Amino acid sequence: MIKQVQSTYNPAELEKKVQENWIRNNIYRKVKELRSSGADFYFVDGPPYTTGSIHLGTAWNKSLKDTIIRYKRMQRFNVRDQPGYDMHGLPIEVKVEQSIGVKSKKEIEDYGIDKFVSTCKNFALDFQKRMTDQFKELGVWMDWENPYLTISPEYVEAAWWTLRRAFDKGLLISANRVLSWCPRCETALAEAEIEYWDESDPSIYVKFPLRDEEGVSLLIWTTTPWTLLANMAVAVHPDFSYAKVTYSRKDGKEKETVILLEDLAEEVGALADWDEYETSELIEGDDLVGVEYLTPFLEDVPRQREITGKWAHRVIPSSTVVAENTGLVHIAPGHGPEDFEIGQEFGLEAFCPVDENGRFGPEVGEKFAGMQARKANANIVQALREKRLIFYDHTLEHRYGHCWRCDSPIIYRTTSQWFLRVTQIRDMMLEEIDKVRWTPDWAGSSREYDWAVNARDWCISRQRYWGIPLPVWKCQCGEMRVVGSVNELRGAEGFREGMELHRPWIDAVTLKCDKCSGRMKRVPDVLDVWFDSGVSTWAQLGFPGSRKELDRWWPAKWITEAHDQTRGWFYSQLAAGCIGFDRAPYESVLMHGWILDPQGQPMSKSKGNVIEPSEIIAEHGADALRFYLMKANAPWEDIAFQHEGVKNARRTLNVLWNVCNFATTYMSIDHFDPLSVDYSRLSSVLRPEDKWLISRNEKLKNEVAKHIESFELHKACRSLEEFILDDLSRWYVRLIRDRMWREEGDLDKTAAYKVLHESLLSVAKLLAPFCPHITEEIYQNIDGSKGSIHLLDWPAPDLTKADDRLEGAMSLVKEIVEIVTRERQSRGVKLRWPLRRIAVKTNTKETLDSLKTLETVLISQANLKGVEFVNPDEVWKDMILSVIPNPLAIGKVYRQWSSKIAILLKSRPAAQIKESVEKGEYSLGVEGQMIKIEQNMVSFTTSLPSDVTSVKFSEGEIYIDFHITPDIEAEGFARDLIRRIQQMRKDMDLDVEEFITAKVKASTKLIEFFKVWKDHVMKETRAKSITFTEQPGGESLVSWEVEGESIEVGVTSLHTRESIGQFSAIPGLSRDSALGLVEAGYKSPSDLKSLSEDAIVAIRGVSKNDARKIAHYLLKIGIGPEQNCPDCGNPVKEGAATCPSCGKDLVVRGRSMPKEKLIPYLLRIPRMNKVKAELLYDAGFDSIEKIESLSKDDIRRVKGIGAKTAEKVVAYALAGGFEDQVSCGKCGTDIPPDALKCPSCGADAPIEIVGEGEVEDETEANGVDDYKLEASFT
């Protein structure tokens, strides 16, 4: 059954209601149940990090996922939708540190690792709950009751299993490497954990004196002076050209000789402000290799003196050297990853004198020991200056890495860490990237590929607490075991079933060494948190605990995350998948963008430009937010978030809602049942516009599915939006309004209902994955049979119903309507005023024919009286053809007559001349002579008739006739009157079905117009009567200005609805009878007191049966014969003509009156006599109201009444004759308009009837005044 929707779209209220209904009716579970037999679709949720609140990016991410999941479910897939949360790691540790007020690892250990880790867990669980609530608010449907958590024992076990696989394959190793290190967090950092921003550092050019050539130095450049303490070599590019350059001052006091890249000599000299330089020798890079130099801190750092090796403190070749700064690079293998690699190659020691806190150890000597490495820069530069080794120094702003959690600048240190040797499986990863379907494809082929190509071995160990413990147990004897499952720990010392697998509890578990029987202890490290999420595809399936689910679902069919996950989850899964299962764990990846602030900058708390999703949702609703995010851009592009965009999306949804409101209003009034009608029954009555909407709708189904399949969700949304706004709301609803308003039901109206209903239903379905709330509410109102829209199947398009020709024709109609509208506007002719006609001429016959099928649409939408179609090869018949005489040619033949001929020619019909001339010649008589006009003597032009404009359109030309005829003017004004009355109805807050009476005052011209259109006006405005009078009155009275004319309108509600309600008190009374009573002017049962049963039966619409019921009711409730005077309220006797108390005449205007009562009123009209009055009465004009509303023509139609009398009646009514007071001819007292006797002296109202009546001859044009009727009113 169709239910009328709420009249306004209130997203907050609607979404709350819908979500509550989902819960109450268990809809989510029902959907899963319904689809459980469908094909499996393994979706994997990239677990968001539990920070506590979601940001817009997360909202977008989850909305995308939800949309695809819902779509897949409508496609009958059985979608696995377990949400995940990433809960370990430094961010939470840092938060907990802040909350308990500790700053270092030592303080954490003093506080107690158990307490610390427990707090971390509580934080994470709390955040998880909060985020879940926010996701639910967005309308995201995932299995919130059963999320996968990276901190659960099963999850930890899955990570262990994977590491065990790596170990078995030789991919898990422990090694000394140079790594980024956070001196505050005292842990190694992965590349993914470093954030770069500008930092100010010393930039120094340092001289490394050659051992064997006095006065000559290698010139190196560095921004990390502190690493010079660990300098081991200097690298040059073997293919570059270097030079020995001597810089000098003009005064000759100073000079320096250094070796640097030849091309940079000038630049470097200018930098250090030397006056002159001279190149004394060119040296190829190759030739510098092996040259020995004195490392700057040889004296200060004891270890430097102990360094040995073939390449120690010598120049070495490296192709990584670039031609910048000096072209020579200082190498400290202990403090730089590339340096380390070069060091490995040349057997250089990775000397790393910096401890985990970033401080120099004793090995650097007294001078620097204990200093923070980066803070020692100034001291080191000073020391170099003292050694006179500084060539030039300044300060430089450059990008520098920082810890992602505490923002400390990182340093590079050499430590022993655990690595996944992903470099060993790089080829496999690259192949797998190629096999995956990436959207857009460059996300894989370029970005992920690029990252994997450059990937280094992955350091997965962290020297922290809150993480998956590294499952490595080591014995003092050197034996090592990697545990791949909890099962392997059973029976171990310290193990308890169901124990916490986190630190510190797991640390208490020791294993027995197989080799030496000693105790194996766990390596204290935890895993890099980025590794956690890498195993999610099998961890959430309970693998390795059980294999069943893995076999059923794995690998993931589809995942989606933002582009930063190239190095994150896309990669961690790829690596983990290749380790665990020798393949990528996903088949299709959609890489989406970021939400930036309105200026295009990333949102961040520090910038203070964060926009909260909850605020947007509170204002515009989750549906609007989702719709905006989906349609704003292609998913893979960033969105600069715009509030206006959300507002706009909401507006679109609002329009959809309004269409639905419109549809359900009428459908529910008419009890339209969509199920009882099907298209096969309607096919013969469908109008072209119906078929057009069906065509558009079927195409839409096709398009939306196509776009979703290719993840072009923006296109899907834009297609939907266009359909809703342009096709449905702005066009189809406009076209069918007239049909909807029709009171009687017929197939034509039913067809419109059916088509509108069908397309609303299918739009709701297509939009359901994007906007799950509003579509649900719409569905509940227009159908609801299946319990929820989300239980429905995706609508399959039926393209046999698509009709391109019809669509093309319709868009031409739209174009023409727009042109006409535009032309109206420029001429100030409003749409309410019909145009006489337009003529349409097209370029092809086909176009013309297809336009003809839409003629009625064109006429109604452009508001025309008619359309003329002109064939492509024809000239519009009303074009004015004129002849242009050619005086030269005429003059040659008929010299003296030529000017006369010209004048004569112009006076003849041009078409005739043309026709004749084309056949041969045209004959013309001039002064008795026959003149022959030949073709060369005339030419022709066509021009537009006056008031006609021609405009070109894409398929031809149209002629618009703006000529206003009186008929058009009348219709225009009538429409204006309708519109004013409708406005007043609205202002009076009247029900759509309510009846009214209207009184109108306007100029005589307008009144004549209105009378022509009276029936139409009454019908349109549900007026029971319209009276034209000088003194309009009513419940509402408004003066309008229309086209310079003033119109005064009084509207009175008949309170039908209310009154019908009143009559429902009468037992068994039918609605029709009640309506009859109301329409006769009775408002409540007490109004009926004065009526006899016969009188009641006489009322139109009241059945005999009902009249008896009414009479019975009146008797029963004891309403006596008495009634109350409507004027003074005092009781009066039934049937009394006047009130005994106030003298008021009790005749109610508008109610039919007995003949003998009405006639005296009519006799007050000039030219009226008794006979004519009776004729009028007998013709059915039996009340004052009816008489007042008559037009001249109405009256003349009454046999026996002539034009003059008719005129007088109208004039009398118009002048307010029935309204105006008259003064008593005897005593001068005012007599009320509807009284017949003077209330003061009782004299008859001043009307003198001079003679008996005679019937006028109806053909009599100028009837003689047979009677003198005098009334003393003015």
* Placement of tokens 């010209």 in the chain: 902
Alpha-carbon gap, residue 502 to 115, rounded angstroms: 12
CB atoms within 10 A of CB 170: 9
- Applying CB under 7 A, among 645, 674, 772, 1034 the residue interacting with RNA is 645
- Applying CB under 7 A, among 277, 594, 711, 1010 the residue interacting with RNA is 594
**Cβ of residue 947: shortest distance to RNA, in angstroms?**
20
572 near RNA, rule: CB under 7 A: no
**Of residues 1160-1179, which lie at the interface with RNA (CB under 7 A)?**
none
Alpha-carbon gap, residue 474 to 495, rounded angstroms: 17
Smaller CB separation from RNA, 646 or 1088 = 646
**Cβ of residue 821: shortest distance to RNA, in angstroms?**
5
Task: Tell me the sheet residues that pair with 950.
Answer: 959
Alpha-carbon gap, residue 336 to 253, rounded angstroms: 39
Residue 632 tokens read as 């704003």
The Cα-based distances of 146 to 45, 84, 149, 540 in angstroms read 13, 9, 9, 10
Q: What is the helix, strand, coil percentage profile of the chain, to 5? A: 45, 20, 35
Of 117-125, 170-178, 189-197, 535-543, the segment contacting RNA by CB under 7 A is: 189-197
1016 near RNA, rule: CB under 7 A: no
CB 572 within 8 A of CB 533: yes
Per-residue string for binding with RNA, 523-562, x by CB under 7 A? ----------------------------------------
- Applying CB under 7 A, among 4, 21, 152, 633 the residue interacting with RNA is 633
- Applying CB under 7 A, among 437, 734, 865, 1192 the residue interacting with RNA is 734
Residue 104 tokens read as 């270092």
- Applying CB under 7 A, among 112, 302, 362, 600 the residue interacting with RNA is 600
338 near RNA, rule: CB under 7 A: yes
**Of residues 359-418, which lie at the interface with RNA (CB under 7 A)?**
399
Smaller CB separation from RNA, 695 or 1021 = 1021
Smaller CB separation from RNA, 67 or 325 = 325
CB 1024 within 8 A of CB 1054: yes
Alpha-carbon gap, residue 325 to 394, rounded angstroms: 13
- Longest distance between any two alpha carbons in the chain, whole Å: 152
| Torsion angle of the four alpha carbons 446, 447, 450, 455, in this order, in degrees rounded to the nearest 10 | -160
Of 168-176, 275-283, 825-833, 1115-1123, the segment contacting RNA by CB under 7 A is: 825-833
**Of residues 969-1008, which lie at the interface with RNA (CB under 7 A)?**
975, 979, 982-983, 986, 992-993
Smaller CB separation from RNA, 6 or 424 = 6
Say whether 1145 sits in a helix, a strand or coil: strand
**Cβ of residue 631: shortest distance to RNA, in angstroms?**
9
Give the chain's end-to-end CA distance (angstroms, integer): 61
Smaller CB separation from RNA, 618 or 1255 = 618
**Of residues 1058-1087, which lie at the interface with RNA (CB under 7 A)?**
none
Q: Total number of residues binding RNA (CB under 7 A)?
A: 72
Alpha-carbon gap, residue 1242 to 89, rounded angstroms: 106
**Cβ of residue 445: shortest distance to RNA, in angstroms?**
8
- Applying CB under 7 A, among 214, 366, 386, 644 the residue interacting with RNA is 644
953 near RNA, rule: CB under 7 A: no
845 near RNA, rule: CB under 7 A: no
Alpha-carbon gap, residue 1216 to 851, rounded angstroms: 51
Say whether 863 sits in a helix, a strand or coil: coil
**Cβ of residue 1029: shortest distance to RNA, in angstroms?**
24
564 near RNA, rule: CB under 7 A: yes
**Cβ of residue 394: shortest distance to RNA, in angstroms?**
17
280 near RNA, rule: CB under 7 A: no
Residue 361 tokens read as 């150890």
Of 253-261, 801-809, 816-824, 1074-1082, the segment contacting RNA by CB under 7 A is: 816-824
- Applying CB under 7 A, among 410, 632, 693, 751 the residue interacting with RNA is 632
DSSP alpha helix (H) spans, 711-866: 713-722, 733-741, 747-767, 772-782, 804-827, 845-852, 855-862
Smaller CB separation from RNA, 822 or 1155 = 822
**Of residues 282-301, which lie at the interface with RNA (CB under 7 A)?**
none
- Applying CB under 7 A, among 611, 634, 1012, 1271 the residue interacting with RNA is 634
**Of residues 661-720, which lie at the interface with RNA (CB under 7 A)?**
661-662, 665, 714
Task: Find, among 161, 139, 142, 158, the residue nearest to 150 by Cα.
Answer: 158
CB 626 within 8 A of CB 653: no
Of 651-659, 772-780, 872-880, 922-930, the segment contacting RNA by CB under 7 A is: 651-659
**Cβ of residue 558: shortest distance to RNA, in angstroms?**
20
**Of residues 653-672, which lie at the interface with RNA (CB under 7 A)?**
654-655, 658-659, 661-662, 665
648 near RNA, rule: CB under 7 A: yes
Alpha-carbon gap, residue 482 to 488, rounded angstroms: 10
Say whether 991 sits in a helix, a strand or coil: coil
Residue 1215 tokens read as 């002048």
C-alpha torsion sign, points 30, 32, 33, 39: positive
Of 311-319, 818-826, 1028-1036, 1240-1248, the segment contacting RNA by CB under 7 A is: 818-826
CB 470 within 8 A of CB 435: no
725 near RNA, rule: CB under 7 A: yes
> How large is the angle between the packed helices 56-74 and 688-709, nearest 10 degrees?
120
Smaller CB separation from RNA, 337 or 504 = 337
**Of residues 96-125, which lie at the interface with RNA (CB under 7 A)?**
none
Smaller CB separation from RNA, 218 or 996 = 996
Alpha-carbon gap, residue 90 to 405, rounded angstroms: 7
**Cβ of residue 718: shortest distance to RNA, in angstroms?**
8
Smaller CB separation from RNA, 7 or 319 = 7
Alpha-carbon gap, residue 1105 to 206, rounded angstroms: 118
Smaller CB separation from RNA, 679 or 953 = 953
**Of residues 195-224, which lie at the interface with RNA (CB under 7 A)?**
196
- Applying CB under 7 A, among 673, 818, 915, 1134 the residue interacting with RNA is 818
Amino acid letter at 1161? Y
**Cβ of residue 539: shortest distance to RNA, in angstroms?**
23
Contacts 24+ apart (CB under 8 A), 1191-1196: 1191/1008, 1191/1011, 1191/1012, 1191/1014, 1192/1011, 1193/1011, 1194/1011, 1196/1258
- Applying CB under 7 A, among 435, 730, 1100, 1155 the residue interacting with RNA is 730
**Of residues 427-486, which lie at the interface with RNA (CB under 7 A)?**
442-443, 446-447, 450-451, 454
**Cβ of residue 779: shortest distance to RNA, in angstroms?**
18
Residue 804, Cβ density class (10 Å: 0-12 exposed, 13-18 middle, ≥19 buried):
exposed
- Applying CB under 7 A, among 1, 94, 192, 859 the residue interacting with RNA is 192
Smaller CB separation from RNA, 725 or 1171 = 725
601 near RNA, rule: CB under 7 A: yes
- Applying CB under 7 A, among 114, 488, 619, 637 the residue interacting with RNA is 637
What DSSP string describes 1185-1236?
HHHHT--HHHHHTSTT--HHHHHHHHHHHHTTTTTS-EE-TTT--EE-TT-S
- Applying CB under 7 A, among 143, 507, 638, 807 the residue interacting with RNA is 638
194 near RNA, rule: CB under 7 A: yes
